[in-house]
A = this chain, B = another copy of it.
Amino acid sequence: MKIALIGAGNLATRLGVALVAGGQSVVQVYSRTEASAAALGKTLHCPAVTSLEQVCRDADVYIVAVKDAAFSGVAASLVSGRSRALFVHTAGSLPMSVWEGVASRHGVFYPMQTFSKQREVDFSAIPIFIEANNAADLTLLKALASALSTQVYEADSRQRRALHLAAVFACNFTNHMYALCGHLLDEAGLPFEVMLPLIDETAAKVHELPPAEAQTGPAVRYDENVIARHLEALSAHPEWQDLYERISKSIHHDKLRFNPD
């Protein structure tokens, strides 16, 4: 099976590396940015092109891993002249229906993880959510995903939208809590490293307990003394102060709603 990779960002890079390591044949990469295309082509030992017209016409699967905003600009020109192939995108936030009227065989191949250029990730532990508009291609995507990961799930577009939204909370918003923590430590002349055991334990805990049950801290019991002291300590940062208050209230409401005792 010949795979062409459309995109050369963080996700495309990690996915390409995992595909090649898994013995798959990545025949070409495309990025409109020459340096990115060249770098990924070099990494994957395959040709790199910077114009959609140069993309090969004989791949079996085209994996489109570009920014959501760039998708529609890429899709139509890509499919033209290659319409017998299977086309998939990798975006959690885009429904499968974006392919309707564009490509007759289409689907979604969504590896749910946070990718950085700086960091290797173990693809085998990444859940991959797949969807296709026909049974044969769903089987094909399942085989492709299973070659990369032990966690392969079918998910329809509604579920994938929920996954993507939930992942924003669990990953992006969590990381921002780490960032605000880091800024507060900076201001007190303390290194971020002191917080790592707590960060690790907080993540480890929800492997065993549902997060609503794992909740600790002043907000659960709405300890007004501690909360008032913290809000005062944040007075130089009105935006963080506002977040502190609102997240605390949400924790307290959650406790009343899901876990009263």
Contact = CB atoms under 8 A, between A and B. Distances in A.
Complex copy number for this chain: 2
Interface stretch (A81-89, A117-125, A138-146): A117-125
Interface string A181-197: 11111011110101111
A224 to B, nearest CB: 9
A119 B205 contact: yes
Nearest to A162: B188
A201 B114 contact: yes
A230 B251 CA distance: 21
Contacts of A211: 175-176, 178-179, 181-182, 192
User: Could you tell me the dominant secondary structure of chain A's interface residues?
Assistant: helix
Interface stretch (A24-32, A36-44, A56-64, A213-221): A213-221
**Interface size grouping (class) on chain A:** 35 or more
B116 A216 contact: yes
B182 A177 contact: no
B209 A116 contact: yes
A74 interface: no
Given A159-B188, A253-B239, A182 B210 contact: yes
A232 to B, nearest CB: 10
Contact of A215 (B68, B172, B254): B172
Given A69-B223, A194-B127, A208-B118, A169 B181 contact: yes
A129 to B, nearest CB: 8
A75 to B, nearest CB: 15
Contacts of A212: 179, 182-183
Contacts of A68: 223, 225-226
A98 interface: no
Contact of A184 (B10, B162, B187, B226): B162
21 contacts: A93-B218, A114-B202, A114-B217, A116-B216, A126-B197, A155-B190, A158-B188, A159-B188, A162-B188, A165-B184, A165-B234, A166-B184, A168-B218, A169-B184, A171-B198, A173-B247, A177-B177, A182-B212, A183-B212, A199-B206, A242-B246
Closest 5 CB pairs of A and B: A172-B217, A162-B188, A178-B211, A179-B211, A170-B181
